[in-house]
């Protein structure tokens, strides 16, 4: 209950965005490979930001 009002840290926000992009990339990989590659590249950039924190 105490974590209910806790704000997310920058790292937690980036990790959520990374997971979302990876999931979108996977779904697109079945239909549109170039869009999937673009999402994967965006996710890789987010991962580098997470590692720099």
Question: 0.85 cut: is pTM over it?
Answer: no
Nearest-angstrom CA–CA distance, 44 and 40: 6
In this predicted model, what pLDDT tens digit does every residue of 1-53 receive, in sequence order? 566 778 888 999 999 999 999 999 999 999 999 999 999 999 999 999 999 98
Name, in order, each residue with C-beta under 8 angstroms of 25's C-beta and a sequence gap of 6 or more.
36, 37, 39, 40, 43
Name, in order, each residue with C-beta under 8 angstroms of 21's C-beta and a sequence gap of 6 or more.
39, 40, 42, 43, 46
Predicted confidence at residue 17, as pLDDT, reads 96
Predicted confidence at residue 53, as pLDDT, reads 84
């Amino acid at each position: 209950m105490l974590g209910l009002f806790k704000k997310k840290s920058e790292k937690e926000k980036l990790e959520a965005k990374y997971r979302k992009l990876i999931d979108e990339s996977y779904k697109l990989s079945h239909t549109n490979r170039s869009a999937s590659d673009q999402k994967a590249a965006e996710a890789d950039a987010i991962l580098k930001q997470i590692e720099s924190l």
